[in-house]
C-alpha cells in the first residue's frame, strides 16, 4: 500500500521539536508528487509528497500505520553530531501533546540509541539495548521501521537492530513522522 505524506511541514526556528512552547509557527507548502527508487534500482512502492527534506521535518502518513506498513528514512549524519531523533506520533497536536508511538534518539557521545513512547502525556520505560551503534559522523544511513502486529521492527542499513513493542494500541492513529537533530535527510518513503 502506498505511503503518502500529503502535506509537509517545515518547522521554524521558533518551534521546538519536543513541543515545549505553546505558540508555534508552521509553514504549509503546496507539494509535488515524486516517485522514489530504491538503491537496487526498482521503484519503491510508495509515493511520498514533500516540499523539501529539511530538518526539523514533520509529515503526515496517510492512513496511519498498520501491520505490514514500512517507513523508510535515508539521510546523512552531520559532521559533528550530538544527537538526532525520529518519532512516529499520533498527529501533531501541541496542546495536549500528541502521543508518541516510538521515539528513537541517537546519542553520539554515549553511542546509544534510546527508545521510548509517550501515551497520555506519560513517558514509559526507556529501552537502550542494541548489539552495536550503527551511525557514523558524516556517513549515509538507511532506517526502515516495519510495523508488525505486536511491534515495530527497526532495521539500519539492512540489519535488524531492535524490536519495540507497541504501547499505542490503535495503530491507525500513528499518522505523523517527525525528524530532528544533526542529520540531513535524502529520502523518505
Q: Which of 43-57, 65-79, 132-146, 161-175 has the lowest mean pLDDT?
A: 43-57
Mean local confidence (pLDDT), 110-137: 97
Nearest one of 86, 73, 9 to 46, comparing CA atoms: 73
- Report the chain's mean pLDDT, rounded to a whole number: 80
Q: How confident is the model at residue 95 (pLDDT cuts 50, 70, 90)?
A: confident
| Candidate from 13-27, 128-142, 154-168, 171-185 with smallest mean pLDDT | 13-27
Which residue has better confidence, 160 or 92?
A: 160
Distance, in Å, from the CA atom of 119 to the CA atom of 152, rounded to the nearest integer, reads: 16
State the average pLDDT over residues 172-177. Answer: 96
Is the Cα dihedral 130, 132, 134, 137 positive or negative? Answer: positive
* Burial class of residue 4 (count of CB atoms within 10 Å of its CB; 0-12, 13-18, 19+): middle
How many other CB atoms are found less than 10 A from the CB of residue 125?
A: 8
Across 17-21, 140-144, 149-153, least confident range: 17-21
Other Cβ atoms less than 10 A from the Cβ of 114: the count is: 16
Q: How many angstroms separate the CA atoms of 99 and 122, rounded?
A: 9
161 has pLDDT over 50: yes
For the chain, the 3-state helix, strand and coil shares in percent, each to the nearest 5, are: 0, 50, 50
For each of the domains in the chain, give its residue range(s) and CATH number, in order of start: 8-188 (2.60.120.200)
Bridge partner residues of 77 (DSSP): 183
Q: How far apart are CA 183 and CA 189, in angstroms?
A: 17
Q: What is the mean pLDDT of residues 150-154?
A: 97
**pLDDT digit string, tens, across residues 20-34:** 332 222 222 223 333
Is residue 170 a contact partner of residue 62, using CB atoms and an 8 Å limit?
no
Q: b or e along 36-47 (b: 16 or more beta carbons within 10 Å of the residue's beta carbon)?
A: eeeeeeeebebb
Average pLDDT over residues 169-177: 96
Give the model's pLDDT for residue 144.
98
Residue 118 has pLDDT above 50, yes or no: yes
The whole-number average pLDDT for the span 155-177 is: 97
* Per-residue pLDDT band at 52 (split at 50, 70, 90): low
CA distances from 122 to 64, 168, 170, 186 (A): 22, 12, 17, 32
Amino acid at each position: 500500500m502506498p505511503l503518502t505524506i500529503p502535506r509537509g511541514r517545515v518547522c521554524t526556528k521558533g518551534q521546538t521539536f519536543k513541543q515545549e512552547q505553546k505558540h508555534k509557527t508552521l509553514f504549509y507548502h503546496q507539494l509535488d508528487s515524486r516517485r522514489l527508487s530504491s538503491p537496487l534500482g526498482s521503484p519503491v512502492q510508495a509515493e511520498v509528497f514533500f516540499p523539501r527534506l529539511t530538518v526539523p521535518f514533520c509529515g503526515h502518513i496517510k492512513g496511519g500505520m498498520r501491520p505490514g506498513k514500512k517507513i523508510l528514512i535515508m539521510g546523512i549524519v552531520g559532521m559533528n553530531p550530538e544527537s538526532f531523533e525520529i518519532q512516529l506520533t499520533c498527529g501533531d497536536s501541541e496542546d495536549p501533546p500528541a502521543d508518541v508511538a516510538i521515539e528513537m534518539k541517537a546519542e553520539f557521545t554515549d553511542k546509544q540509541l534510546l527508545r521510548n513512547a509517550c501515551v497520555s502525556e506519560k513517558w514509559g520505560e526507556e529501552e537502550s539495548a542494541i548489539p552495536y551503534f550503527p551511525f557514523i559522523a558524516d556517513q549515509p544511513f538507511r532506517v526502515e521501521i516495519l510495523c508488525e502486529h505486536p511491534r515495530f521492527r527497526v532495521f539500519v542499513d539492512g540489519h535488524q537492530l531492535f524490536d519495540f513493542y507497541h504501547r499505542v494500541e490503535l495503530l491507525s492513529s500513528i499518522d505523523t513522522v517527525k525528524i530532528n537533530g544533526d542529520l540531513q535527510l535524502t529520502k523518505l518513503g
